[in-house]
Amino acid sequence: MRIVVGISGASGIPYAVKFLENLKGQETYLIISDAAKKVIEYESDVDVDRIRSLASHNYEDDDFSAPISSGSFLFDSMVIVPCSITTISKIASGISDTLITRAAAVSLKERRRLIVVPREMPLSTIDLRNMTYLSENGVIVAIASPGFYTHPKSVDDMISFVVSRLLDLVGVKNDLIERW
């Protein structure tokens, strides 16, 4: 399976790291935005190089020659985790000024699975409308909101809940959480 992973400049880097760690055996294509690099430094003990090492292929966010910027390059899913509200707004508006937003546009035009994972709150009416617009156009909006019915004992348990759901959405089997 080929999975494109974008990390944009929103809080929630631990979700991205755990997601990538659990994609072993999949062919992964990673894009880390410049804003995400700053967030990684601020909120994570993991450095950018360590995160890059978790992916099969890495691209800079301004590399429009990357294969994932073309509809002729086949991939199964794209997940933007975390997905900033700015990135959601650009995708909803059809703005493809970065590799992340270009790969998202490819996902939309080629009718491939696109999952955005916002972690923001509260949300403005504009944010909600943009997410609704994306959802109406086939994008899965997976809010990074852990459930508590699994009785999490740690922050890692809550991260595992969200990541387990993302893995389910891209079709990667996992046992990160106890299932019903």
Q: Is the pLDDT of residue 156 over 90?
A: yes
d(CA 74, CA 63): 18
The mean pLDDT of 58-78, rounded to a whole number, is 98
Bridge partners (DSSP) of residue 63 are: none
What fold does the segment set 2-170 form as a domain?
Rossmann fold (3.40.50)
Each residue's pLDDT tens digit, 96-150 = 999 999 999 999 999 999 999 999 999 999 999 999 999 999 999 999 999 999 9
Each residue's pLDDT tens digit, 80-92 = 999 999 999 999 9
pTM of this structure: 0.97
List, as one string, the DSSP characters of the chain.
Answer: -EEEEEE-SSS-HHHHHHHHHTTTTSEEEEEE-HHHHHHHHHH-SS-HHHHHHTSSEEEETT-TTSGGGSTTS--SEEEESS--HHHHHHHHHT---SHHHHHHHHHHHTT-EEEE-----S--HHHHHHHHHHHHTT-EE------STT---SHHHHHHHHHHHHHHHHT----SS---
Q: Is the pLDDT of residue 73 over 90?
A: yes
At residue 180, the pLDDT reads 81
